[in-house]
Amino acid sequence: MARETVIYQFCNNLIGAGVTLVPYLMAGFQWHAKVFLLKHFGNPIFGIVGSSNFTANAFGVSNVPALATDSPFPTAKFNFECDVYFWNAANALISAAMNNLINQDLIREQVFLTQYDDRENLNRSIEVRLLEIEQQIWASGGIQTLF
């Protein structure tokens, strides 16, 4: 299935579930980086920034034929997600949803958790940092709506 078809299908599934969604793409870029911002009344309350960088392909590992040094699981390509999720712990609804997700048996051992401290981030809150990321993306130019 073509990547564009998957993106359209993903967006249409969200819209079909009642999510108000405005998807954007960077014109001409063929990269896997992603930024997801969830806003409430125009203010970001949750964000995902990342890319699946720890993959067999990214490190030039073909796995054809599989070699003992290809990955921790020699007969399979490896694909370790490397995404960062941002939310303010004071938001009880998002915190509860994330805690439920993180504490699932298959996910818990794959997650690194840390606390965000404004003082260690130039006194910028998570919400401010997400706004800055959004502004940097808009300033880069080349953004187009998906549909």
42-82 pLDDT, tens digit per residue, is 999 999 988 766 666 666 665 565 555 544 554 556 666 67
Pairwise CA distance, residues 44 & 57, whole Å: 33
Percent of the chain scoring above 70 in pLDDT: 73
* CB 145 within 8 Å of CB 24: yes
Predicted pLDDT at 74:
47
pLDDT in tens, 3-30: 567 788 888 998 999 988 888 888 776 5
* CB 87 within 8 Å of CB 94: yes
